[in-house]
């Protein structure tokens, strides 16, 4: 396919870079904010994911020979290409921890680097973080409604091409237990699972032969797919026969799987048949167009399903296909910068910044983050960014800084974590969040405020910029 | 990242494969149909894309050392792993041509191979074809409403991770002219374009300096982004000044770009200002949350936009995140196979098949495809698959076979085509399609029928299978 070299970017990054290189701006230090404007799924929070992949790729980013040859052919200057031959990202990155709960319109990550480095990594950064955060958030919503039931990613076949690779990783950071995706399981050390397709049953002359052959060949974690012909008249009764044969060999059938029809009804009826046969230990797995709403509904109906296999809606984030994350200039060559907009709510914030999560004395989130200058260690009072009469005193609250230096001079400072650790961290952060931010319908809005120092500078810049135009 | 080795698959393919290997079924020849059930975007057609990538990957597919070591560790048997060490896909593929117009519930592609080979490539095949067909279809819809205006893919930053690579390829097969995605442009030989971001303008102390610096550094195909501060009061007037300076140097400004606000209004007002300054040749490019509906509306309002840059909605297929393509067993070890379903419309079709596009004597599609056995060279009468009283005589129609052998014994038979050739073919096929299948709202349904031979066998199998269950 392709490697992640520095041409995994938009052409305009390179066009701008050549101009910066040739007009002497190339060493201008710049600061960019990564943030998003809108939560996906009409939800109340998002789960930040993709950081480790991003840092690993940035740390090793370069233009290879094929890249340079291609750029030469498309008309970039020889001097600039010589610069690109030695290109290496040498900047710093400040970021929220992977797995943390994040909200719109406040920096999730800040990059400081020379302007060329900062631009070249923009596309890559947005591409990886927007997508993994979308999927981790989707996975987290399913985890929240599923309690301790087993959640499996079955999505590779419906994923957006090789996007499925990172979808699987993000699903695990958001709380899924395992995947059917072998290459992702291999590279990210994820529990892998999968047993049989309808085609397996069909390839035999009858269902019981197919089941028997499978149970003999793969007795460990054996799951029989019972809906190829008729779930309750043939699939489940045949699975029961095989489970009894397995018992005679000292083995246990792990589960049956339902993949069509009314899952609540079939799960209940199957459970009855299994229990009547003394197979209380045989679990029920279900799949087929699941998402957080369907899982919630199935459990509200007390469908006795132990394992959910989720495909399309997990790995593509359906119905939201993208997080709208952006990357905005906050400082250039030592000067603070903003981007104006017709809508005040879209004006960006200047400077190197810190984001504080406001908590009460028992460590619970109170429903607000405050943004200050990076030089501020605490914020005394925070102001609504666009409604000047609204403010909130913060003296009596704990303030947890969310942005940590994760890369310095191009070297990652983050120790490798298991995905399970990231998922556990995410769950612990969600536990600090009051329940009204986690509900699906009209969740409470997690507030944001800015410090008076940041507000003053921002307002001064707005005035200056309006005179410019 | 990862290579496309044979572990780009679902675990159950390997679990089933081991059982087939060990119970002596491994050389059972099997036939699988690839088809989808529902058109994306509530549209009337889809554009088939991804075939060349699929064949190239399948032709070279194997398990590498890392794969084998991983599978060993997850418990596959040594004998089976020895088989996988030499695994190679040696089957045949029959397919619709890439770029052709396709419809639901009829085979787009058929695979014939031993059962293990056919299963291992299933996930890969669905992953690549479902996604590229989704995106090529989306691109085609934008091409249809845009006439000969220039369409550019700007989506990489919002794509689903590395899915963006194939999204760009599919966008070109569906009729886009170019992309900002450098690595895709490099590998697929696509025209690449891109000039400046808002951050470029912001990094200078004022807009005119930014424009001047850019125009001097990159005078070829120069596009100035005019909405950083105030489009009509500063952006366009500054761009006009720069265009005049370029004229003095014997250069021409290619275009200005609008990326926010009311694009119809700003395009019209900008056009007036440019024309008044004698800059009729300077084009207007527009971007910002475009899709086929917005483009259609802009052109209905006679917005003088020459170039559209499309991102998220193109590369993710929003609001449809996946084509629901499936892969169903049609024959196993010489025996025809079907999959039953509670709904008759979901019962699959057995046998090796051919699909004929029915045309009138002037080569126009009449709005129906007919499915027969592969051994049938023509179909005299076709029958509605689920409504026995409906049939259509076909003697007086041309019948174009759509499925061609594209791979034989694991070797691709398809000559490398340029994406432009695929796109041109697609447009020529769309031209044969009556307009009522191409409209956005409630398009006419392209019919499907089956031959009497296929119908008889299918109905016989349904009866047999119902007795089984």
What does the pLDDT read at residue B1? 67
Q: Would you say residue A295 has pLDDT above 60?
A: yes
Please tell me which residue of chain B has the smallest CA distance to A221. Answer: B15
Cβ(B303)–Cβ(B267) below 8 Å = yes
Share of chain A above pLDDT 70, in %: 99
Q: How many CB atoms lie within 10 A of CB A59?
A: 13
Kindly determine whether residue B339 and residue A9, on different chains, have CB atoms separated by under 8 Å.
no
Cβ(A47)–Cβ(A99) below 8 Å = yes
pLDDT single digits (tens) B71-92 = 999 999 999 999 999 999 999 9
Q: Would you say residue B39 has pLDDT above 70?
A: yes
Tell me which CATH homologous superfamily contains domain A11-135+321-468.
nicotinate phosphoribosyltransferase (3.20.140.10)
Please give the Cα distance from B142 to A117 (Å, whole number). 34
Section A86-100 average pLDDT: 98
Output helix, strand, coil percentages for chain A, rounded to the nearest 5: 40, 20, 40
Q: Per this entry, what is the length of chain A?
A: 469
What does the pLDDT read at residue A398? 96
Q: Would you say residue B34 has pLDDT above 60?
A: yes
B41 DSSP 8-state letter = G
Q: Evaluate the omega torsion of the peptide bond into residue B319 and state whether it is cis, within 30 degrees of 0.
A: yes
Cβ(A260)–Cβ(A227) below 8 Å = yes
Instruction: State whether residue A77 sits within 8 Å of chain B by CB.
Output: no
Kindly determine whether residue A161 and residue B156, on different chains, have CB atoms separated by under 8 Å.
no
pLDDT band at A341 (very low <50, low <70, confident <90, very high): confident
Section A287-310 average pLDDT: 98
Please give the Cα distance from B316 to B164 (Å, whole number). 8
Residues of B in contact with A122 (CB under 8 A): 157
Kindly determine whether residue A234 and residue B195, on different chains, have CB atoms separated by under 8 Å.
no
pLDDT band at B383 (very low <50, low <70, confident <90, very high): very high
Q: Tell me which residue in A7, A316, A338 faces B321 most closely, judged by beta carbons.
A: A316
What does the pLDDT read at residue B468? 63
Please give the Cα distance from B6 to B59 (Å, whole number). 11
Residues of A in contact with B469 (CB under 8 A): 207, 229-230, 233-234
Interface confidence (ipTM) of the complex? 0.97
Domains of chain B by residue range: 11-135+321-468, 137-315
Average per-residue pLDDT in chain B? 96
pLDDT single digits (tens) B229-255 = 899 999 999 999 999 999 999 999 999
pLDDT single digits (tens) B413-446 = 999 999 999 999 999 999 999 999 999 999 999 9
At residue B407, the 3 state secondary structure works out as strand
Q: Tell me which residue in A122, A163, A186 faces B163 most closely, judged by beta carbons.
A: A163
CATH fold, domain A138-315, is TIM Barrel (3.20.20)
- Chain B from 113 to 132: CB within 8 A of any A CB: 115, 119, 122-123, 126-128, 130-132
What does the pLDDT read at residue A257? 98
pLDDT single digits (tens) B195-217 = 899 999 999 999 999 999 999 99
Q: Would you say residue A217 has pLDDT above 80?
A: yes
Please give the Cα distance from A412 to A409 (Å, whole number). 9
Q: Would you say residue A196 has pLDDT above 70?
A: yes
Section B399-421 average pLDDT: 97
Kindly determine whether residue B130 and residue A199, on different chains, have CB atoms separated by under 8 Å.
no
Q: Tell me which residue in A130, A197, A319 faces B158 most closely, judged by beta carbons.
A: A130
What does the pLDDT read at residue B334? 94
Dig out the tokens for B313 from the structure.
Answer: 């909605």
Q: Would you say residue A468 has pLDDT above 70?
A: no
Cβ(A203)–Cβ(B333) below 8 Å = yes
Identify any residues that bridge with A110 across adjacent strands, giving them in sequence order.
A33, A94
What does the pLDDT read at residue B140? 98
Q: Would you say residue B97 has pLDDT above 60?
A: yes
pLDDT single digits (tens) B126-143 = 999 999 999 999 999 999
Q: Tell me which residue in B5, B19, B163 faces A217 most closely, judged by beta carbons.
A: B19
Dig out the tokens for B433 from the structure.
Answer: 């399609």
Section A198-214 average pLDDT: 95
At residue B369, the 3 state secondary structure works out as strand
A131-135, B193-197, B300-304: least confident range: B193-197
pLDDT single digits (tens) A147-159 = 999 999 999 999 9
Cβ(B156)–Cβ(A123) below 8 Å = yes
pLDDT band at B469 (very low <50, low <70, confident <90, very high): low
* Minimum distance, in Å, between the CA of residue A310 and any CA atom of chain B: 13
Strands B46-47 and B150-153: unpaired
pLDDT band at A290 (very low <50, low <70, confident <90, very high): very high
Please give the Cα distance from B423 to A86 (Å, whole number). 38
What does the pLDDT read at residue A2? 74
Q: Would you say residue A469 has pLDDT above 70?
A: no
- Chain A from 198 to 217: CB within 8 A of any B CB: 198-200, 202-203, 205-207, 213-214, 216-217
Q: Would you say residue B389 has pLDDT above 70?
A: yes
Q: Tell me which residue in B15, B157, B214 faces A19 most closely, judged by beta carbons.
A: B214
Please give the Cα distance from A113 to A331 (Å, whole number). 11
Dig out the tokens for B14 from the structure.
Answer: 């390997």
Instruction: State whether residue B301 sits within 8 Å of chain A by CB.
Output: no
Average per-residue pLDDT in chain A? 96
Residues of A in contact with B69 (CB under 8 A): none
Please give the Cα distance from B354 to B401 (Å, whole number). 7
Q: Would you say residue A1 has pLDDT above 80?
A: no
pLDDT single digits (tens) A227-254 = 998 999 999 999 999 999 999 999 999 9
> Which of A31, A36, A287, A321 is the best mutation test for B, with the most CBs of B within 10 A?
A321
pLDDT single digits (tens) A37-85 = 999 999 999 999 999 999 999 999 999 999 999 999 999 999 999 999 9
Q: Per this entry, what is the length of chain B?
A: 469
Please give the Cα distance from B427 to B140 (Å, whole number). 8
pLDDT single digits (tens) A390-441 = 899 999 999 999 999 999 999 999 999 999 999 999 999 999 999 999 999 9
Section B340-369 average pLDDT: 91
pLDDT band at A123 (very low <50, low <70, confident <90, very high): very high
Instruction: State whether residue B462 sits within 8 Å of chain A by CB.
Output: no
Residues 6 or more apart whose CB falls under 8 angstroms from that of B209 comprise: none
Q: Would you say residue B342 has pLDDT above 80?
A: no
Q: How many CB atoms lie within 10 A of CB A289?
A: 14
Section B371-381 average pLDDT: 96
Section A356-361 average pLDDT: 95
What does the pLDDT read at residue B386? 84
The CATH number of the domain covering residues in B137-315:
3.20.20.70
Section A251-267 average pLDDT: 97
pLDDT band at A309 (very low <50, low <70, confident <90, very high): very high
What does the pLDDT read at residue A343? 77
Kindly determine whether residue B161 and residue A162, on different chains, have CB atoms separated by under 8 Å.
yes
What does the pLDDT read at residue A237? 98
């Amino acid at each position: 396919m392709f490697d992640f070299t520095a041409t995994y970017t938009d052409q305009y990054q390179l066009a701008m870079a050549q101009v910066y290189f040739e007009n002497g701006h190339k060493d201008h230090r710049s600061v960019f904010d990564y943030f998003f404007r809108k939560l996906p799924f009409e939800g109340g929070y998002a789960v930040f994911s993709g950081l480790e992949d991003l840092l690993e790729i940035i740390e090793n980013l370069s233009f290879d020979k094929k890249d340079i040859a291609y750029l030469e052919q498309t008309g970039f200057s020889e001097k600039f290409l010589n610069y690109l031959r030695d290109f290496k990202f040498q900047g710093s990155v400040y970021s929220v921890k992977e797995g943390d709960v994040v909200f719109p319109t406040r920096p999730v990550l800040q990059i400081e680097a020379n302007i060329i480095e900062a631009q070249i990594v923009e596309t890559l950064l947005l591409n990886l973080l927007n997508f993994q955060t979308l999927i981790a958030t989707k996975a987290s919503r399913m985890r929240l409604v599923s309690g301790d039931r087993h959640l499996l990613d079955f999505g590779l076949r419906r994923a957006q091409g090789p996007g499925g690779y990172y979808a699987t990783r993000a699903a695990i950071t958001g709380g899924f237990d395992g995947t059917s995706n072998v290459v992702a399981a291999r590279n990210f050390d994820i529990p892998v699972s999968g047993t049989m397709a309808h085609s397996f049953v069909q390839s035999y002359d009858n269902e019981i032969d197919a089941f028997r052959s499978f149970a003999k060949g793969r007795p460990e974690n054996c799951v029989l797919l019972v809906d190829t012909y008729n779930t309750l008249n043939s699939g489940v009764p045949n699975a029961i026969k095989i489970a009894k044969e397995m018992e005679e060999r000292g083995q246990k059938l792990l589960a049956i799987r339902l993949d069509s029809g009314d899952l609540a009804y079939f799960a209940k009826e199957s459970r009855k048949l299994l229990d009547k046969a003394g197979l209380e230990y045989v679990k029920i797995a279900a799949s087929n167009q699941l998402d957080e709403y369907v899982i919630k509904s199935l459990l509200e109906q007390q469908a006795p399903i132990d394992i959910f296999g989720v495909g399309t809606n997990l790995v593509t984030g359906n119905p939201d296909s993208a997080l709208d994350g952006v990357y905005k200039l906050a400082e250039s060559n030592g000067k603070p910068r903003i981007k104006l907009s017709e809508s005040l709510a879209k004006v960006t914030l200047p400077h190197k910044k810190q984001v504080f999560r406001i908590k009460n004395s028992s460590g619970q989130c109170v429903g607000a983050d405050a943004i200050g200058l990076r030089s501020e260690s605490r914020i005394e009072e925070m102001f609504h960014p666009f409604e000047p009469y609204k403010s909130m005193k913060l003296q009596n609250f704990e303030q947890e800084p969310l942005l940590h230096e994760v890369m310095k001079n191009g070297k990652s400072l983050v120790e490798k974590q298991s995905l399970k650790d990231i998922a556990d961290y995410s769950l612990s952060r969600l536990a600090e969040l009051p329940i009204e931010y986690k509900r699906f319908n009209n969740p409470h809005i997690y507030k944001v405020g800015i410090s008076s120092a940041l507000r003053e500078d921002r307002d001064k810049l707005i005035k200056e910029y309006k005179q410019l135009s």
